[in-house]
Structure 1
């Protein structure tokens, strides 16, 4: 499969790194020669210095025979123009990044009239992920499947849960909740656990279940499940706007602090239900004055990763609030995870997962489609949702009799709207949505789960 990426900034470079593992031929286009040279040193891809909206540049990149073109430059209008020219010149699928809130209500119209395969808004997707966490603050990460019917949630085992030293099967027997333990991360290991796997304080556990069953399980182990009543957001960028709008719809009280007076005035007009404060979000006295010690959630969304991390670290000692920090740069992810500052959101991963899902769906055989894809467990595993569209070697056979790959778990079956955590006697049927968690990368079809 030949894929062209126009724009090699943060999102474009992350995409290129992910897609090179997908058995694809990559061509990268950017106006900055240094960016292209640096990327092509590390990634097996052809680089072209030029304007992605130029027909000559796209022809040089091979747009006539390309399968997908992805435009992720800093300009929404340029991205749309690149896709339009690519469609007129070749026959490829087109994906555009469109970020401006002005276009958010017109996305469906734009996509249909321009014939785009997909429009991606990283800021809106990031805001939605944060709002999910504020609805269920006990979780560190939440990934939805089957249109929200099923969720993969990650949480930390604390001493007050009294789970230390218990096996997975003992926990599920004791609490009798229909949840599945799909992954356990300790300081030294990552496991897709069996029933005899022991849980310890400090472990990070990922479970999959319906939202109702997850809430019931958390309630039984003593973890609060109610949504937050209020939030304090530092930084007044596009993500903050989308987040405040979503939280206002949920009746969550929102305060935003930003030091740019002009931006504060804009936000005041666009967000009449939010409180906008012009000030320095790193000023401890201001934070305390605005209620940091009593607020239920604290979200840092400035343009500086260091500031977001520092603010979350400082807040740990001053508040019991749910902490969420946005981080753009990935090289220091391991160090950041060690800091234990609550939920850390990486917008680039959200974007790349959306596009990878689409690429996998195009590469699949006729038997099934990749409907949802998330990189989970610090990018060491994937959680995928397949729709079973046709007969295949996995259909109609009890799961206990399938020769499944190691480190792979069939987590959930959704059939005719009903969600089921499968047991050994259950089987996959045509029409099912099947959720898989595995450390094997690159599954494109449901038959790939077989050893």
Structure 2
């Protein structure tokens, strides 16, 4: 597809990086000349220096022949205006990043009146991801397939876990619960394990299962499956606003600590006095503030300040004092391998969540252009990929036992969804037309069709 991206900040650059892997024809616009020059030297994309609100600049970037225009600058209003110009110029699909909570209740109106194909709010998406984790706190990350029929959960094997030193071929006998271990990250290495693989303490693993079976599996290995009862949030920005609103609706008690008094009062006014929500003005980098407000007794701790380093140290402090579920927001720090070595609980990267939403939309759009990817997630700290394919008539994988299917290395057919049935396949299993198939791979090669998993 031919795609024009406006804005090369952290979100735009992350989207660009993932779409480059997908093999799209990309043009990028930004009004920071030094930045656009670096992008041009680093990636195989067309770069254009200028103001994206100019129709002339958009046409120079090729919007008049583009399939899609993505606006992800720091200005909501600029993104909306540029999408409207692109839509009028080319009638292409348009995606706008819109962050202000004022617009959140008007998304449908904006989509209809401006002709937007998609509106993405990184803070809202991050808040939904955090809320999902807090409802199942033993998981580090939770992704869903086939409208919730199947879940993929990531978690770390803790000391003393019955999974320690367990051979995968023995797992179903020793630990009841129908699940499949898809991937294992050990240090910087990621494996798609076979039956002889032995799990170790501190392994980060991903499993697929139905919701009921995943809950039972977690219970059987001694991990908590109940949502948290109360949450301490540090930082009262947009994510905290959206998250608090979501958690309050679930009956969870919340305390927010915000350094800026003006923002503290704004948040208090936005969410009101429910008896279960308390927003305090204070500097959470002062340990005494956290101790005084009850960090030692909270069920969950979420660090959402605008400074990555502060979030890391706050989470490390929480880990040192409590067994609470800890969630850490990281926005800018790119030393992923170093960050992963810290015990920060669940790490939330809003830029990756945003990119994942947009890449998933692009792939869904391609369904009418020869692709059959329904859902896509990056897992294990962006080191592996899980894709859901819908099997179309005439697919070369239909009717062939999986043991005779010559799939590429580092590819696993993890699950087959057939109607209401969730099937964890073995060598004799076959894929049928209209099935949904979940594939896990460490190749990150931008599969667009189920046939892409076959060698040759």
What is the TM-score with the length of structure 2 in the denominator? 0.95
1:330 offset after TM fit, Å?
4.4
Give the stretch that moved more between structures: 427-436 or 275-284. Answer: 427-436
Give the stretch that moved more between structures: 350-359 or 213-222. Answer: 350-359
Q: After superposition, what is the alpha-carbon deviation per residue over 1:376-404, rounded to whole angstroms, capped at 9, x for unaligned?
A: 12222111112224331112323222221
| Counterpart position of 1:172 | 172
Distance 1:396 1:21 in 2: 31
1:188 offset after TM fit, Å?
5.1
| Counterpart position of 2:221 | 221
| Counterpart position of 2:104 | 104
Give the stretch that moved more between structures: 107-116 or 83-92. Answer: 107-116
| Counterpart position of 2:454 | 450
1:39 offset after TM fit, Å?
1.9
Distance 2:228 2:448 in 1: 38
Q: After superposition, what is the alpha-carbon deviation per residue over 1:153-200, rounded to whole angstroms, capped at 9, x for unaligned?
A: 111112322322221111122223110000111125311011111111
Contact 1:367-1:390 within 8 A present in 2 as well: no
| Counterpart position of 1:349 | 352
Pair 1:359 & 2:357 matched:
no
| Counterpart position of 1:322 | 325
Pair 1:152 & 2:152 matched:
yes
Contact 2:204-2:380 within 8 A present in 1 as well: no
| Counterpart position of 1:68 | 68
Contact 1:361-1:444 within 8 A present in 2 as well: no
Give the stretch that moved more between structures: 19-28 or 293-302. Answer: 19-28
Pair 1:200 & 2:203 matched:
no
2:290 to 283, 287, 295: 287
2:279 to 252, 276, 290: 276
1:362 offset after TM fit, Å?
3.7
1:372-411 maps to which residues of 2 (within 5 A)? 372-411=375-414
Q: After superposition, what is the alpha-carbon deviation per residue over 1:78-126, rounded to whole angstroms, capped at 9, x for unaligned?
A: 1111111111111321111111111212212322332222211111111
Distance 1:81 1:344 in 2: 33
Contact 1:3-1:27 within 8 A present in 2 as well: yes
Q: After superposition, what is the alpha-carbon deviation per residue over 1:40-84, rounded to whole angstroms, capped at 9, x for unaligned?
A: 222222222222121111111111111211000111121111111
Contact 1:367-1:389 within 8 A present in 2 as well: no
Distance 2:204 2:8 in 1: 34
Give the stretch that moved more between structures: 23-32 or 224-233. Answer: 23-32
Identify unmatched segments of 5+ residues in structure 2. none
> Using a 3 Å threshold, how does the CA distance of structure 1 residues 173 and 366 change in structure 2: closer, same or farther?
farther
Contact 2:308-2:333 within 8 A present in 1 as well: no
> Using a 3 Å threshold, how does the CA distance of structure 1 residues 237 and 4 change in structure 2: closer, same or farther?
same
Give the stretch that moved more between structures: 129-138 or 418-427. Answer: 418-427
1:20-35 maps to which residues of 2 (within 5 A)? 20-35=20-35
Distance 1:439 1:157 in 2: 21
Identify unmatched segments of 5+ residues in structure 1. none
Contact 2:141-2:154 within 8 A present in 1 as well: yes
Tell me the secondary structure at the aligned position of residue 131 of structure 1: helix
Contact 1:366-1:389 within 8 A present in 2 as well: no
Equivalent residues, number: 451
Moved over 3 A (4+): 361-368
Distance 1:369 1:113 in 2: 30
Contact 1:160-1:222 within 8 A present in 2 as well: no
CA RMSD after TM alignment: 1.6
Contact 1:366-1:390 within 8 A present in 2 as well: no
| Counterpart position of 1:54 | 54
| Counterpart position of 2:241 | 241
Give the stretch that moved more between structures: 208-217 or 108-117. Answer: 108-117
1:431 offset after TM fit, Å?
2.3
Q: After superposition, what is the alpha-carbon deviation per residue over 1:290-309, rounded to whole angstroms, capped at 9, x for unaligned?
A: 11000010000011000000
1:214 offset after TM fit, Å?
0.8
Pair 1:298 & 2:301 matched:
yes
Contact 2:401-2:429 within 8 A present in 1 as well: yes
| Counterpart position of 2:416 | 413
Q: After superposition, what is the alpha-carbon deviation per residue over 1:208-256, rounded to whole angstroms, capped at 9, x for unaligned?
A: 1112111101111111111110000000111111111111111111111
1:365 offset after TM fit, Å?
7.0
Give the stretch that moved more between structures: 331-340 or 400-409. Answer: 400-409
Contact 1:414-1:420 within 8 A present in 2 as well: yes
| Counterpart position of 1:210 | 210
Contact 1:65-1:91 within 8 A present in 2 as well: no
Contact 2:364-2:375 within 8 A present in 1 as well: no
